[in-house]
Structure 1
């Protein structure tokens, strides 16, 4: 028996998500969706179960029959706090010695065409494919259509996450101090992330001086010096699991004129990209809006990554704001806008806000100043 502890959102939210997932899957010619632990399972039923060698799987038929859950008795407690009990979903327990993959496929019609979540380990995908005698397709196209459009409760969670990470950036004068190593600063920031309302620090990037020219530099034992430009990219989840992600760039003392001039170009690029966000625009058009000012200033080759990524239960999810992505923006989509310039061996800078598409534009969820903050 699964505890009926309060799920992350109201039960009807999860019921609608399951119904919608089944409908989209049916329209795609699928017989069922198979969802193992990960963000998709959390999205559909609120379960925080983790993936182990024993199979836990949500089976979502597309023919109108109720979804059901296959779970090892040993890990039944992992479903507590989800919406599974309130939804009344059948739960099929299994113990060691039982073949759980056959338990799943026996629920499906002969020759079933199924889709699996992209978080499914090969440890389970391969046995399921063997029993189905076919290779499942990815459920990404089905699930992303749901997860890309945030509802009001999700947007509220993202707002709270954005405000929480803004409070951490506001504390940089006490956290980012010359004479400390990047690792020491990162430890202080990680503690502040939790103090300001996150359940943990998902990532902390402290890129000082030449390390700032590496967009995915994390931390090192380099001592931060007066005169350094420092990239601080931080984020983490707030309950019920929705993430923050915000980058600001700091100057340890007054920057020289050339750096200030180039940083101003980055500010223009980030401002232009946010201004371009509206329903009907494409993801790639936002990327183009960010690149135009940077390229015009002769810094195009210094902008080495996409302009943004979707955010929610995952830090990186659809829609990706990148050239070639013709996804049309709709109200409720949430993503980062984060152009950067990176001058190898010298310094780097990035400005990142999370925005939510509204009916007539967008709502930025981060409100800290975008300028090169002097500490």
Structure 2
């Protein structure tokens, strides 16, 4: 019977078989002969890419080798070998006792790859799992062989493997998005004057917990809740600010299920009797909706991430608002910030090469422009979209009108 992830019904062996098959196709496409994931003591030090190609823990130095010719080889400690053989994902499992060098070199000599991709990256932490010490150790194992000069970064391989979501991955993300929308709908009825941002955050977490879902990121700040004129932006814990009539409530929240995540933002205006919503707030909200719609209309395979980000920025400035101080969107998957190559970000130093990367079919992105109003706080939405053959489709439902709550 196939094993499953601990919090899900997503079958592990079919998933890992499909992802390793996908990795072989990516290697062919990129013209790379071998992808070598080199790890040790993974219970304490996990290469982020491991979750895409392997289940379980590896103790001694281990090499998971995928080739453009379709071979899947695991060179592992002798005590780790039986379970890997039983899983059947790797067609050749080599268990060693005293040291990995001999079976590793024997395998590489047999394969004779001209390029060996290893998990190092200056651009993406999720493609940078090898670590400086282990890289030196691997280089020592290959010293004085033809292979020591054939090592290349694997980030292109990892980006496409992580970023191109399989149908089962899209299904898992879409489920999280739909359930998050339901939680937001239920949370709406809990908003009332006198409730603090921290209390509302607790209530949202409680709704998710009752449905059996975990938080997509650190529970202390999942959800992020701000209210009133608060100028707190980004990854911050909810405060004791009190929800009051005539103010905004803004929430950034996501759940985790089947090892995948959602990441969404919603907001409400708490009415003050019959007083109308300030025009500045309505204009800001309409601008956010328009920025999302215009960016989504241009999001398609092949476009550079910065080009999509610029469309949303231009919409804000054209309407008299300042640019947001973050990216328009990041990829979403097993992590809320899921790497995958392209980022919908400006060409700023901190984003390195990712704004220049082309968007790929199967990427799942957030779209999250924001406007910070001095008198009213955060105006922002965050949608989750799937890149298709020639565009994108919304996994979430964009609320085009600002929800106005009339509460006692």
Structure 1: how far apart are the matches of 2:156 and 2:289?
A: 34
Cα distance, 1:55 vs structure 2: 4.9
- 1:128 corresponds to: 138
Residue 12 of structure 2 corresponds to: 8
Cα offset, 1:169, TM superposition:
1.1
The Cα of 1:210 is off from its aligned counterpart by: 3.8
CA distance, structure 1, for counterparts of residue 47 and residue 190 of structure 2: 33
Q: Which residue of 2 aligns with 1:58?
A: 64
CA distance 1:338–1:92, change in 2 (3 Å):
same
Structure 1 contact 200–237 (Cα < 8 Å) conserved: yes
Q: 1:189 to 1:33 in 2, by over 3 A?
A: same
Q: Take 1:372 and 1:72, find their aligned partners in 2: how far apart are those partners?
A: 60
Match of 1:43 among 52, 59, 72: 52
Question: Could you list the per-position Cα deviations for residues 329-363 of structure 1 after superposition, in whole angstroms to 9, with x for gaps in the alignment?
Answer: 44322111111112468511211111112234321
Distance, in Å, in 1 between the alignment partners of 2:205 and 2:78 is: 35
Root mean square deviation of aligned Cα: 3.5
Map Cα deviations across residues 300-335 of structure 1 (whole Å, 9 max, x no partner).
34x111111111122212331123434444432211
Separation in structure 2 between the aligned mates of residue 55 and residue 373 of structure 1, nearest angstrom: 55
**1: CA distance between counterparts of 2:71 and 2:132?**
27
Say yes or no: does 1:23 pair with 2:28.
yes
CA distance in 2, matches of 1:211, 1:128: 50
Q: TM-score, normalised by structure 1?
A: 0.80
Q: 1:88 to 1:165 in 2, by over 3 A?
A: same
Counterpart of 2:8 in structure 1 is: none
The residue aligned with 1:206 is 225
| Equivalent-residue separation in structure 2 for 1:299 and 1:343 (angstroms) | 9
Q: Residue 242 of structure 1 is aligned with which of 260, 263, 276?
A: 260
> 2:307 aligned with 1:307, yes or no?
no
Q: Tell me how far apart the structure 1 counterparts of residues 62 and 203 of structure 2 sit (CA, whole Å).
A: 37
Q: Contact 2:383–2:398 at 8 Å: present in 1 too? A: no
Which residue of structure 2 aligns with residue 266 of structure 1?
A: 288
Tell me how many residue pairs correspond in the alignment: 360
Determine which of 145, 157, 163 is the counterpart of 1:142. 157
Most deviating of 83-92 and 271-280:
83-92
Instruction: Kindly state the Cα deviation for residue 226 of structure 1 after the two structures are TM-superposed.
Output: 3.1
Aligned partners of 2:163 and 2:360 also within 8 Å: no
Aligned equivalents of 1:336 and 1:89: distance in 2? 37
Give secondary structure in 1 for the equivalent of 2:156.
helix
| Higher mean C-alpha displacement, 208-217 vs 335-344 | 208-217
Q: Unmatched 5+ residue regions in structure 1? A: none
Q: Deviations over 1:30-89 (max 9, x none)?
A: 5442155454222234x2x469x865653335565432153684xx59x97x99713244
Structure 2: 5+ residue stretches without partners: 5-10, 40-45, 120-126, 348-354
Tell me, yes or no, if the aligned pair for 1:248 and 1:370 is still in contact at 8 Å: no
Task: Answer whether contact 2:216 2:256 (CA < 8 A) is retained.
Answer: yes
Match for residue 351 of structure 2?
A: none
Displacement of 1:262 in angstroms is: 2.2
Match of 1:321 among 340, 344, 353: 344
- Cα distance per residue 1:226-251 (max 9 Å; x no partner): 33322211113221x12111111222
- Written as runs of structure 1 = structure 2, the 5 A alignment for 1:1-375 is 5=3, 7-8=11-12, 10=14, 12-24=17-29, 27-28=31-32, 31-34=34-37, 36=39, 37-45=46-54, 47=55, 49=56, 55=61, 57-61=63-67, 65-70=71-76, 73=79, 76=80, 85-91=87-93, 107-109=107-109, 113-116=116-119, 117-133=127-143, 137-196=152-211, 198-202=213-217, 203-211=222-230, 213-239=232-258, 241-253=259-271, 255-301=277-323, 303-316=324-337, 317-318=339-340, 319-324=342-347, 325-343=355-373, 347-367=377-397, 369-375=399-405
1:118: how far off? 1.3
TM-score by length of 2: 0.75
DSSP 3-state at the match of 1:363: strand
